[in-house]
A = this chain, B = another copy of it.
Amino acid sequence: MSRQVAFMEEVKGWVYEAGDFVKEELRHVITVEEKSNRHDLVTNVDKATEQFLVNKIKKHYPNDTIIGEEGTGKSVTSKDGRLWIIDPIDGTLNFVKQQENFCIMIGIFEGGKASYGFIYNVMKDEFAYGGRHTGIFINEKEIKNIDNIGIRDGLIGCNAQMYTENLYHATDICKQAVGVRVLGCAGIDFLNVITGRQNGYLSKLAPWDFAAGVALAEPLGLICKQIPDLDYDILGDRQFFVVATEKTYHEIVSDFK
């Protein structure tokens, strides 16, 4: 087993452990707080899951840098070395209201380059992991390639606000697709794109929402960009973001400027 595969397997084990912790917590009362507004929630489980993962990383890789949605590494400004970006529960509204349709996500960047991604849809038990050194897997099965379908031949995922306000032509773009889906969980949209169940996803995302996804998507030939047609910024604020097949991406860029 190569050093990279061993590393991937180690982190994968931590994410499974975190998933078991979250499932156990769902048997108890969840404490919910509002963050910026009533659509933006955090729970005791988000915080505890982030802490669980941060403790694992600090114990095994004390020299690495960590950023987490729930407050870890707020002041990180350098992409040097190995950077871990954690979303302990992506889709917190779904977690609170549905007790399903949420993901645990970790993206790992090395020298600013996406290297490993982990997206675990806990209740569905669908786990995508891997990266440019190892290949990309879903529940032990390697994803070899994705059909390079155009916008009119697939389903597209979209952020609710972008879709309803036609931000960056999102409504017009989605109307080209065979259908639009609004799922409330970036991780599930990324899982859908890397398995070919959607040909793209448009949203406004923070780095912890897309770090794992780009590490999984780019090695599969999918395009990940800040809208319109810019590089994403892994240390930036929330940014308008697209992941899509190459063909769908080029159709979006050429038809909707």
Contact = CB atoms under 8 A, between A and B. Distances in A.
Interface of A: 38-39, 93-94, 97-100, 124, 152, 154-155, 160, 163-164, 171, 174, 178-184, 192, 197-198
Contact of A184 (B39, B93, B160, B179): B179
Main secondary structure of the interface of A (DSSP, over half): mixed
Contacts of A97: 154-155, 178-179, 197-198
The residue in A99, A155, A174, A183 that gathers the most chain B C-beta atoms within 10 A of its C-beta is A155
A183 B164 CA distance: 15
Contacts of A124: 124
Copies in the complex: 2
A226 B154 CA distance: 31
Contacts of A198: 97-98
A98 B179 CA distance: 12
Contact of A98 (B38, B99, B155): B155
A44 to B, nearest CB: 18
Contacts of A171: 164
A98 B199 CA distance: 11
Given A97-B154, A155-B97, A163-B164, A184 B181 contact: yes
Contacts of A192: 98
B93 A178 contact: yes
Contact of A180 (B154, B174, B178, B182): B182
A215 B152 CA distance: 36
Nearest to A171: B164
A38 B178 contact: yes
Contacts of A184: 155, 179, 181
B178 A181 contact: no
Nearest to A98: B197
* Interchain residue pairs A-B with the least CB separation, the first 8: A182-B182, A98-B197, A93-B179, A160-B180, A97-B155, A179-B184, A164-B171, A181-B182
